[in-house]
Chain A
Amino acid sequence: MSLYRDEGVVLRTQKLGEADRIITLLTRSHGRVRAVGKGVRRTRSKFGARLEPFTHVDLQIYEGRSLDVVQQAETLASYGDRIADDYGRYTSGTVMLETAERLTAEEREPATQQFLLLVGGLRTLAEAAHAPGLVLDAFLLRSLAVAGYAASFDDCAVCARPGPHPFFNVPAGGAVCGTCRPSGSVSPARSTLDLLAALLTGDWVVADASDPRTRREGNGLVAAYLQWHLERGLRSLPMVERT
């Protein structure tokens, strides 16, 4: 019998038996973990809303033979209420959770950078200072970069010739020059690539000033880029409400 303590963000919950749930968490030191929340569906559960998606919790977990069990949970930050308050935030936030789950392929494999990125992304989303769609795209680009799939929006992704370049190719990894341009490349507006570069680096002044058309083209490229790097599509991505 062994106990461990860690902090984590609740990614997903699934009903188990009469009153329990399996809680999927992304933790700071133990990577993605699945643990049973006993009795959480009862209205008098000691856990209350602490094991709901979007909650950042301090946990004590008992390592079971087949499934771990959450013994104690204290809220560090709860973003769920602010996120569920707005349908755009809710759908964008859900994609962030699903992406974090999918980009941490192995359970128990430490993914501290992904964890920190998720906490930061959810906090920004809940603060509602920027459009939810932009917060989502910034998170997706950075999260893919941490997973080893950084996109280039300036230098050519094939020959590294300094940009800007007028073409973009998803399989090649981003912007491509006129010489390297593989077939199937698209030619997005210059402002779109500037927006994506700003989202990747966290330049919110540029990102907030972008117009709806640029954002639309930008999130189309981000979605294509994400789908290319994940084996199967995300369930939540087609449901994102963009305004």
Chain B
Amino acid sequence: MYEGVVQDLIDELGRLPGVGPKSAQRIAFHLLAADPVDVRRLVHVLTEVKDKVRFCKTCGNVAEQEECRICRDPRRDRSVICVVEESKDVVAIEKTREFRGRYHVLGGAISPIEGIGPDDLRVRELMTRLADDEVTELILATDPNLEGEATATYLARLVKPMGLRVTRLASGLPVGGDLEYADEVTLGRAFEGRRLIDV
């Protein structure tokens, strides 16, 4: 234990995701030794991010205005919505430059063991958006793990009566790996999602 404010700093840092007590202590002492200008800049950014950044009223992505940059962009295809768990997933998909539609950020995945059900995610907001007949296709891009799959299954069944084209991102073998290291589930999915080679 350290005295007063130093311990407070370690405690606060330790509450951040992925930061254990050891790392918290390391970061705290780094900050203590750092140039005051650098620390002030960090404080400024932290305050600004809480003041300025909010969540897009349409898609739930992080935004600096009422709507995020993507939802405001008139060049984006309004007929397709890609559903993801988190804002970081939007960033990941944007980097591919493959997708020109808009997003819907759920805020997580359905996880009954953690007490997270459909009502705790932005599912109702999604249904409201889909009721608008501009949308014709829904891409389910939740994580390729158990909770992501279950969430996709749930959403697919929920929107079925709306008659949309519903697709799920293909999952399978990681590019750059060896086939022999793939586990059965991954390999099985890769078989399901195989595509025609056009030569």
Contacts and interface: CB of A to CB of B under 8 A. Distances in A.
B17 A15 contact: yes
10 contacts: A44-B174, A48-B186, A49-B183, A78-B185, A81-B149, A84-B149, A84-B150, A86-B153, A87-B157, A94-B113
Of B17, B145, B186, most buried by chain A (CB within 10 Å of CB) is B145
Contact of A75 (B110, B153, B183): B183
Interface string B64-81: 000000000000000000
Size class of the A contact interface (CB-based, 8 Å): 20 to 34
A90 interface: yes
A43 interface: yes
A52 B185 contact: yes
A97 B113 contact: yes
Of A12, A46, A48, most buried by chain B (CB within 10 Å of CB) is A48
Contacts of B114: 235
Size class of the B contact interface (CB-based, 8 Å): 20 to 34
A90 B149 CA distance: 10
A235 B115 contact: yes
Contacts of B153: 84-87, 90
Nearest to A77: B184
Lowest 10 CB-CB distances: which A-B pairs, in order?
Answer: A48-B183, A236-B112, A49-B185, A235-B115, A84-B149, A84-B150, A94-B112, A239-B112, A90-B150, A48-B186
A239 B121 CA distance: 14
Interface in A79-93: 80-81, 84-87, 90-91
B128 to A, nearest CB: 21
A80 B146 contact: yes
B137 to A, nearest CB: 22
Contact of A52 (B115, B145, B174, B177): B145
Interface string B109-126: 010111101000000000
Nearest to B112: A236
B154 A87 contact: yes
A48 B185 contact: yes
Interface in B47-75: none
Interface in A218-243: 235-236, 239-240
A53 interface: yes
A35 to B, nearest CB: 17
